[in-house]
Amino acid sequence: MLVSLNWTFSKPFKMGITKQYLRYVPLKNFNIVCHPDCNIVFVTLNGISDRYVAVGACENVIIWDLRLEKLVMTIEDEDMKNNTSKKISVVKLATTPEGKHIAVGYSDGLVNTFNLATGELIGTFQGHRSAISALTYDNHGHMLASGSKDTEAVIWDVIAEKGLHRLSGHKGVVTGVQFINKHNLVMTSSKDTYIKFWDLTTGHCFKTLAGHITEVWTLSILRNDDFVVAGSNDAELRTWKISKMNDEESEIKMSELLSSDNLLDFASSIKCEKSGSLMREGPGRVVSSATDNTNHVLCVHGHGKLLELFIFSGDGEALERLRNRQRKFRKKASKRGENDEDIAFLNEKNPALQDVVRRLPPILTDYKIKSADLVVNQTHVKVVVSMADNTLAFYSVSLAVGKEVKLIRKISLHGHRSNVRVLAFSSDNLAVFTGGSESVKMWNKKSLNCIRTVETSSPVQCLCVLPGDRHILAGLDDGKLLVIDIAAGDIIESISAHLKDLKSIYMLPDELGCITGGGDSTVKLWQLELVILPNTDRKVLSLLHLKTLELDENVQCSRVSPDNKLLAVALLDNTVKIFFMDTFKHFIDLYGHTLPVNDMDISYDSSIIITASADKTIRIWGLDYGDCHRRLTTESTLTSIKFIPKTHQFFTTDKNGNVKHWDADVFERVLTLQGHRGECYNMSISGNGYYIVSCGQDNVIRLYEKTEEPLVLEDEREEERTQEDEKELATGEETNVYGGPSVLALPTKKTISSEKAAELLLECLNVIKEYKDSLLENETKGLDKPSLPIIMTAFNVKNTDDYLLEIIKRIRSSELEEVLLLMPFSSVCYFMEALIPLLNHMHHGIEPVIRSLIFLVQTLHKPISSVKDMMPILRKLNVLATKKTNEFRDLVGENLHSLMFINNSQEEEELVFNITQNVQKKRKRQKQKLLKTVIVNI
C-alpha cells in the first residue's frame, strides 16, 4: 500500500507541469568575412577613414581592420539577438559623411541607425514592407533615404526620428536613391526602367528620365552633384549633366506650353541633359557601383571579376583636355591641308564627357565581385572588394597615368570559401572543427579565431576527432579518408577508404578504432595504430583496415551503440539495419520511414535509437526489440539529429533553418531556435552538453549556450502562441483616416509595437478620465481626494498630466503618427483636451506634444472642426502651442549659444596653455644648449 502511494505522488512530478528544462540561447556567430547579399562600406574609427570597413554578417554588422586583418567590432541589435523566432539579415549599409554613424537596412524592411564609436542603437525606422534595396545619407547626415523591393522610397529625418515623405511612383524595385543636395532634390532609379526626380519640400515627382530600355540597376551622383551616371543591362553607363535652369529658360509663353508634348521639362526647376555614355569593358549587366567621399571617383562592376574605375575631373582640367584635343586636331588638319574654320568641334567651348572623365587602371580579382567601396587621398584610390568566396581584398590604385594596381592585403583565413557542411567539438570542448568544400578549419571556441587551416582536395563530408585532440579524421567526397595532424596543420595520410563518397565516420566506444560508411554500399571497421616512418624513428598515427560489411544499398550514416554491441546502418532504401558488432551478423530491421534516413543517434544507455528522415518525421525506436516508441512530425525535412550526452534529450536541424530541442522520454518538443536563414545542414553538441554549434545555407556558424534559466513546456507553448498571434495586426494592414481618404500614405508602417503603444495611450486616457470623475465626485460630496491609481504609482508620477506626458515620451518617435491614427475619434478629442494643461507649463517633453497636436489637426481637420465643443479647445491650443513653441525655441537657442561660448572659451584656454607650454619647452632647450656651450668653452 505504501509503495503504491509513493508511485502515485512521484508520477506527476516527472510527467506534469513541474518538469523543467534549461534554456539554450544564441551566443555568437562566426565564419563570415563578408556576406554576398550585403554591400561593404568604409567607416571612420579613431579619426581614420581608410583602414576600417563594415560588412554585413547575417543579422549583425562586423567591422574589419584592413591593416591588422582583425575583427575590431560587432554591431548587433539586442532585440534581434534575443528573438529566436525570426531571423533577418543585413542587406544594405550606408554611413554619414563624417563617418560617426551607420545606417543598416534589413531584409524585412527595417532600418536601424547605430553609433560607430559605441555600437549603440540610435534610431529605428519602419516604413517598408519588404527588403531594403537602396540606402544613403545626405551631405549633412540629417536625412536618410531608403528604397525597397516594395517599389517605394522613404525620406527619413534622422534627428527627429520620423518619416518625412513616402515616394510612390515606381512600378518596379527601387535600385538606387541619391540626394542632390545642391538643388534640394532626391533621385530614384528602378527596375521599371525610369529615373525620377523628387522635390524634398513637397515630396512630389516633377521629372522622369526615360533613357533606358531595360532595368536601371545603379545610380550615382558625381562631381558636386553635376553628373548622374546610371547602369543598365548592357555595357553602357548613361550619363546626364544637371544644372539649374535660368530665369530666361523658365519663362515660357502659354501658347508654347500648350503646344508642347513634354510638359514635365517646362515644370522642372533643373535642366538635365544627356552628356554621353561610358562604355564598360566587363560583360553583362552592372551589379553595383560606388563613389568616394568626394564624389569624384566612380567604381562599377558586373557579375565577373573586373572592377572598373572612372575619375571625374574638375572644370579646369577638363577644359585643358578639350584645348589639347583641339590643338591636336588643328595640327592634323593643317598637315592634310584642310580649312578648319568651319569645323564645329574647334569652336566648342564646353568640355565633352571624354574631357571630364578619365579611366583609371581596372582591378582584376580572383573571384566574382559582389560589392566594392573606395576612399581617395591626394595620390591614391584605396578600394576594398568583397568577393563571392567569402573574402575581402584591399587594393591601391595611383591617380597618376600609367600606374599599376597594387594588392595591399587579403582577408580570407577567417572563414570558409563556401558553405560549411560538417562540424565537430574537441573532447575538451575548447575547439570547434569545421569542414567545407576546400578545407578543414579549427576554431577557438572562446575567441572564435581560426587557429588552423588544412586544405583538402575535395569537399569534406564528415569529421571525427580522435582521442587526445591531436588528430582528426576527415571523409571526402571522393571516398578518401584523411588523417590530419592538428598541431602541424598537415595531412599525415590519405587512405582510399571507399570507392564513392565517404558519408560517415564514427569513433568506437573503446576509442581504439572507427567505422566508416560510404556510397559504395559498404561499412568498414578500422583500427588505430602507430606506424614508424621509413628511415626515421618518428611514429605517426595510421589506420588498419579490419573488416568490411557488404550491403545492398548505399549507406547514409552509421552508428555504434555505446556498449559496443550493436552497429546501426541507415540505407538508401528507407530502412535502418542493426547488426551485431562482433560478428557483423544481422539482428533486426527498422521499417517505417517513407524516405531515406539522413541521420540517427543512439542514447548513452544503448536503450533507444532516434532517426531523422527526409519524410519530415522523427522516430524513436527501442534497441531491444526494434519497436517504434513514437513518431514525431515536423514541418520540414530533417538534416541531422544528436543526443545531448548522458540524457534522453536530443536536438534536430531541418531545412527551414530551425534548431529544435526534444525530449525522448515525454515525446515532446521543448524549444525551437530559429537558427539560419535557409537550410540548416548540420550541428554538433559538446561533450558536456553545454554548447551546440550549427551550420547552414547562410554560410554562418552559430554557437548556442546552455543557461541556468529554467524552461517549462506549458509556458513555452503559451509564449509561442502569443508570438503567432502577434504576427497578425489586430487593426489590419492599412491606415485609415476618419472623414478623409480611405488609406493614408504615411512614411511609416503599422507594426505590433505601434498597436501596443496605442493600447497604452488609450489605457492612460481611460485611467485619467476615471480618476478625474472620481475626484469631481468626491469634491461634490465633500470627501477627501481619492488615492492615485496603482498604474500611476507604478510610473512614479504625482498627477495625471505627468502620467500622460510619460506615456507620450515612451512612444517611439518614428511610430507617433501611426499610434495617433489608431485611436478612436472620441479618444482623440479627449486627448486634445488633455493637452491644454500640458502646454500651460514648460517641460522638456514639449516637442512630441506639439508634434502630436499638429499631426492630428492636419490629418483630422474636417471631423474635428465639425464638432462644436472642439472649436474653443482648438483656439486655446493654437495660442498655447504658438507661445510655448516660441519660448522653447528661445530657450534652445540661448542654451546653444551659451554652450558655444563655453566651448570657445575652453578652446582659447587650451590654446594659451599649449602656447605657454611650447614657449617654456623652447626656453628650457635654449638654456640647456647655452649651458652645454658654456661647459665646452670652460
Q: Tens digit of pLDDT for each residue in 111-146?
A: 999 999 888 999 899 989 899 999 999 998 899 999
Query: Worst-scoring range by mean pLDDT, 98-102, 336-340, 395-399, 771-775?
Result: 336-340
Decide which of 844, 867, 890 is a domain's last residue: 867
Q: Is residue 70 located within the same domain as residue 204?
A: yes
Grid look-up 519530415 returns 616
Q: What is the pTM of this model?
A: 0.84
Q: Are residues 37 and 143 in the same domain?
A: yes
* pLDDT for residue 575: 92
User: Does some domain include residue 447?
Assistant: yes
What rounded mean pLDDT belongs to the chain? 86
Q: Which amino acid is at 400?
A: A
**Residue 935's pLDDT band (cuts 50, 70, 90):** low
Q: What digits encode the pLDDT tens for the residues 575-596? A: 999 999 988 999 999 999 999 9
pLDDT at 516 over 70: yes
All 3 cell numbers of residue 614? 527526409
Greater pLDDT, 190 or 261: 190
**Helical axes 846-859 vs 870-937, angle rounded to 10°:** 140
659 by DSSP, 3-state: which? strand
Higher pLDDT, 538 or 760: 760
Among residues 840, 867, 894, which one ends one of the domains? 867
Q: What is the pLDDT of residues 135-178, one digit of tens each?
A: 999 998 899 999 999 999 999 999 888 889 999 989 999 999 99
Residue 737's pLDDT is 66
Mean pLDDT, range 553-563, rounded to an integer = 92
**384 and 454 belong to one structural domain:** no
Residue found under cell 502651442: 881
> What are the CA-CA distances from residue 759 to residues 694, 721, 729, 756, 807 (Å)?
40, 20, 13, 5, 11
CA distance 700 to 612: 23
Question: What is the distance between the terminal CA atoms of the chain, rounded to a whole angstrom?
Answer: 116
Identity of the amino acid at 463: L
pLDDT of 1: 33
Pair 157, 122: CB distance under 8 Å: no
* Phi and psi, residue 915, nearest 5°: -65, -45
Element spanning 924, H or E: helix 870-937
Confidence band of 3 (pLDDT split at 50, 70, 90): very low
Stretch (H or E) spanning 712: strand 701-712
Claim to verify: residue 390 and residue 422 sit in the same structural domain? no
* Cell representation of residue 230: 546610371
Domain boundary among 411, 435, 457: 411
Q: Are residues 397 and 541 in the same domain?
A: no
pLDDT of residue 594: 92
Summary count for the chain: helices (H), strands (E)? 16, 56
Residues 139 and 221 in one domain: yes
Return the exposure string of 803-816: e unless at least 16 CB atoms fall within 10 Å of the residue's CB, then b: bbbebbeebbbbbb
Is residue 279 pLDDT above 70, yes or no? yes
CB–CB of 509/563 below 8 Å?
yes
Tell me, yes or no, whether 577 lies in a domain. Answer: no
- 27 occurs within a structural domain: no
User: What's the average model confidence in pLDDT over 651-657?
Assistant: 92
In this predicted structure, what is the pLDDT of residue 259? 54
Burial of 872 (0-12, 13-18, 19+ CB in 10 A): exposed
User: What band does 271 get if pLDDT is binned at 50, 70 and 90?
Assistant: confident
Q: Does 556 fall in a domain?
A: no
Do 441 and 309 share a domain, yes or no? no
Q: What mean pLDDT is predicted for residues 89-118? A: 92
Read off the pLDDT of residues 506-515 as tens digits, 9 standing for 90 and up: 999 998 999 9
Q: In this structure, are 64 and 165 located in the same domain?
A: yes
Task: Give the model confidence (pLDDT) of 243-258 as tens digits.
Answer: 887 655 555 544 555 5
Residue for grid cell 563556401: 418
* Of 374 and 15, more confident: 374
- Are 208 and 291 contained in the same domain? yes
Q: What's the confidence (pLDDT) of residue 264? A: 44
Spatial separation of the C-alpha atoms in residues 667 and 247, rounded to whole Å: 80
With contact defined as beta carbons under 8 Å apart, do 501 and 477 qualify? yes
Instruction: Supply the pLDDT for residue 937.
Output: 59
CATH code for the domain of 494: 2.130.10.10
Q: Is the CA virtual torsion 125, 129, 131, 136 positive or negative?
A: negative
What 3-state class would DSSP assign to 250? helix
Q: Tell which residue, 475, 487, 485, has the closest CA to residue 524.
A: 475
What pLDDT is stored for residue 9 in this prediction?
Answer: 33
- The pLDDT, as a whole number, for residue 355 is 83
Same domain for 484 and 378, yes or no, is no
Assigned domain for 310 exists: yes
Report whether pLDDT(56) > 60: yes
Q: Residues 883-922: pLDDT tens digits?
A: 888 888 888 888 989 999 999 999 888 888 888 888 888 8
Neighbours of 60 (CB within 10 A): 21
Helix H or strand E segment including 10: helix 2-15
Residue of 845 and 421 predicted with greater confidence: 421
CB atoms within 10 A of CB 754: 26
Write down the pLDDT at residue 785: 82
Q: 663 pLDDT exceeds 90? A: yes
Q: Which of 338-352, 592-606, 667-681, 828-842 has the lowest mean pLDDT?
A: 338-352
Number of independent structural domains in the chain: 3
Q: State whether 136 and 75 are in the same domain.
A: yes
Q: Angle CA(759)–CA(765)–CA(769) in degrees, nearest 5?
A: 145
* Same-domain status, 41 and 167: yes
**Spatial separation of the C-alpha atoms in residues 582 and 689, rounded to whole Å:** 30
pLDDT at 842: 65
- Give the domain range for residue 851: 752-867
Grid cell of 302 as nine digits: 558586373
Is residue 523 very low, low, confident or very high in pLDDT (cuts 50, 70, 90)? Answer: very high
